[in-house]
């Protein structure tokens, strides 16, 4: 396979300033994609741009809070005007929120989790779906979590919104099944990120896979030869998982 399988492709990555998002952006750039990197921190975006450029790639930096929904709409319009399509979308931006009993979750934290983890991704679908359909082989990957399935105590806002992301991704996949667009989900499991450290402060991060290892699997899901759609790739087991209803 070509060392630059994403040559001449346009890729949007959200939450691209650190962790998995930054690693995905770097990997796509190294693979030849022009990366449209979204993040809230200008300095971190500039560091990402330096890394992508050093690897021979190119990037457009978009300082953006993903809860600025009008900005998401403007992004879709700008991509259409400039490129007329979008080849890859990776919805990575996420908010852990408080780990606390549901009765103690403050409304502001609930709203933030819903707005970042769920509503923002719906708005990206709304804005970018036409562009992804215009590509010869559009690919979309949403980052989910094992928390979406475990019903673990105190993880309410994060787990509930990630379960919603999975339902939304599967719905979009069903709606586009007759097109060239493939929509899938990715469960990273425990990864050496700041979010993981916040959730498990006593854990030794050196025992965990790196964001770069997870990014390698995510980027593979964005290739044109991927036939799966509406499925979850479980990184801890390195396998595709089907969504099945209880018997």
Q: Which residues are catalytically annotated?
A: 144-145, 158, 162
Task: Kindly list the strands in the beta sheet with 139-143, ordered across the sheet, starting from the edge strand earlier in the chain.
Answer: 58-63, 34-39, 10-13, 88-91, 139-143, 182-187, 232-234, 239-241
Q: Phi first, then psi: what are they for 145, rounded to 5°?
A: -165, 150
- Residue 146 exposure: Cα atoms within 13 Å on the Cβ side: 10
What is the SS3 assignment for 202? coil
- Sign (positive or negative) of CA dihedral 17, 236, 181, 219: positive
How far is CA 205 from its chain centroid? Answer: 22
Whether the CB-CB separation of 124 and 74 falls below 8 Å is answered with: no
Q: For residue 38, report the phi and psi dihedrals to the nearest 5 degrees.
A: -105, 135
């Amino acid at each position: 396979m070509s060392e630059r399988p994403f040559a001449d492709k346009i890729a949007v990555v959200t939450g691209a300033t650190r962790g998995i998002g930054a690693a995905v952006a770097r990997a796509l750039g190294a693979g030849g994609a022009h990366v449209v990197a979204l993040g809230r921190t200008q300095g971190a975006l500039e560091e990402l741009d330096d890394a992508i450029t050093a690897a021979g790639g190119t990037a457009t930096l978009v300082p953006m809070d993903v809860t600025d929904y009008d900005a998401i709409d403007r992004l879709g319009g700008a991509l259409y005007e400039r490129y007329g399509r979008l080849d890859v979308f990776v919805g990575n931006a996420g908010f852990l929120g408080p780990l606390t009993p549901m009765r103690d979750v403050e409304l502001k934290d609930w709203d933030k989790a819903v707005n970042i983890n769920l509503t923002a991704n719906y708005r990206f679908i709304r804005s970018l779906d036409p562009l992804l359909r215009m590509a010869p082989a559009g690919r979309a990957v949403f980052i989910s979590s094992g928390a979406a399935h475990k019903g673990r105590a105190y993880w309410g806002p994060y787990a509930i919104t990630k379960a919603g992301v999975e339902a939304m991704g599967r719905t979009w996949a069903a709606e586009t099944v007759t097109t060239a667009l493939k929509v899938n989900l990715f469960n990273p499991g425990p990864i050496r990120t700041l979010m993981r450290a916040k959730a498990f402060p006593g854990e030794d991060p050196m025992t965990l896979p790196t964001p770069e290892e997870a990014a390698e699997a995510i980027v593979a899901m964005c290739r044109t030869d991927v036939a799966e759609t509406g499925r979850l790739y479980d990184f801890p087991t390195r396998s595709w998982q089907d969504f099945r209803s209880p018997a």
